[in-house]
Structure 1
Amino acid sequence: MNQNLDNEILWYEDNPWINAKHFLMRWPFVNTQRHAYAYKIARENVRGALKNYLKKNEIQLQKALIAPCGVDGDQDVLKGLSRVFYGIDISQKAIELCTPKIKKKVGDIIKSGYESGFFDAVASLLFFHHLPEEQFASYLREFYRILNNEGLLFILEPSRLYPLSRLMSLGRMVFGNISGLVPDEAPIYPSKLSSALVNAGFEVELLQSVSFSHVRIPLPIQKVINSLPKAVLRTPAIREMGWMVLWICKKP
């Protein structure tokens, strides 16, 4: 099974899967402030982890690819971490809306067209959970090809081991896809992506959760969860059970 690229494009053009009138898409089940806070904390933790890694290893990125780049190029996470950013996305609309500070193009990531060894880093945030597991290897091979030696790969994905992920999957089975997800979209098992990374030739330099909170959790409880020490995010026994998991990998 391959990724349905038409569905990915349609999501940008006119998302037909969201049902804003459903009772589970209204207060108290959904709250924009709660949603924004959950993502803000998770993405701040991603940025912090990337900055710490680059500083610790005295790395200054020159050319980094954002794949896919979406409408904002993940600049809330990546801004300033590379001298030049490139972006690729299957959606023409996303490319048109994306910040002009990125050298961007419309294209299929798996056939990126970039030269071998061209990039110091590739950032692929919240992408692999749109793919069937059997396609992980193909995309990782392309990332490996376009990275130079010692090049870095940054991946962020929702974990299927997160307790609420299982509850959300059950809710989707009962009520249907009401929250606007692309039909094939689903959290992944971190161990399967880690295995695919190693098989593709990457070394996993860092693996950690970036949040144990979630957009559906009431704001006061989110704040309590997020007050836990940052070391908890890196604890081996539970780091794959977070809402989202971050990988920093290297091409040796």
Structure 2
Amino acid sequence: MYDLSTRERALALVAKGRSLNSVSRQTGISRSAIRSWQDRLQPRPRMAHPDPGPPSDESAYAYLLGLYLGDGCISPHSRGGYYLRIACADDWPGLIKECREAIGKVRPGVGVYLAQKQGCVAVTSYCRSWPVLFPQHGPGKKHARRIALEPWQQVIVDAHPWEFIRGLIHSDGCRITNWTTRLVGGERKRYEYPRYFFSNKSDDIRRLFTDALNRVGVEWSTLARGSDPFNISVARKASVALMDAHVGPKY
């Protein structure tokens, strides 16, 4: 149990723009407790989401939608409005740059900043209309609830399938080099070949990915992780060449 002054001190830190994670680390109070105090002691006004109109750059939006479905989340601010956060691994500075640029193209004028986490960067932007632009936002983990595109989103993805695929690969995918050996003339030789993987627990998100692959003529297969079909593989030479031309490895 915490007294009123402790609760108000924690909420004051959040009101200054501090994240729940940082306030929790500083005070030793759990994030869930601080979030519940926000509602009970400083309830957020219920505000209608403003209609932001269509994304300013639909190609950038298709890419950002792929990133969001893989590694993104939207969270409310204590004073109203919402934060969009996309987690990008430190190993891929080019991905971090592209993500930041895509947010600026989708919503010109919004602030975009980088919040360093352990092993990754959260590319973060504040805007009141993020839940409208990403209606897949909701409580709980994405793989535990239904994920479907709105008709207007599907139109954008149909028009820019490769950008959508790139976003999904850049979030939850990779390009790797596999190898095998073959007996040739009595001598065992090693052969290497590239392939793409996309891994996600959500059946719906994997289906959105494979639907886009079908649209651009990429052949794919499902590989199970144990008994769970989490992995989508692209290994055929012609399909890998298509992926290389339009997606390529992370950088």
Normalising by the smaller structure, the TM-score range is: under 0.3
What is the TM-score of this pair, normalised by structure 1? 0.26
Name the one with the larger strand percent: 2
TM-score (norm 2): 0.26
Q: Which has the larger radius of gyration?
A: 2
- The higher relative CO (CA closer than 8 Å, separation ≥ 6) is in 1
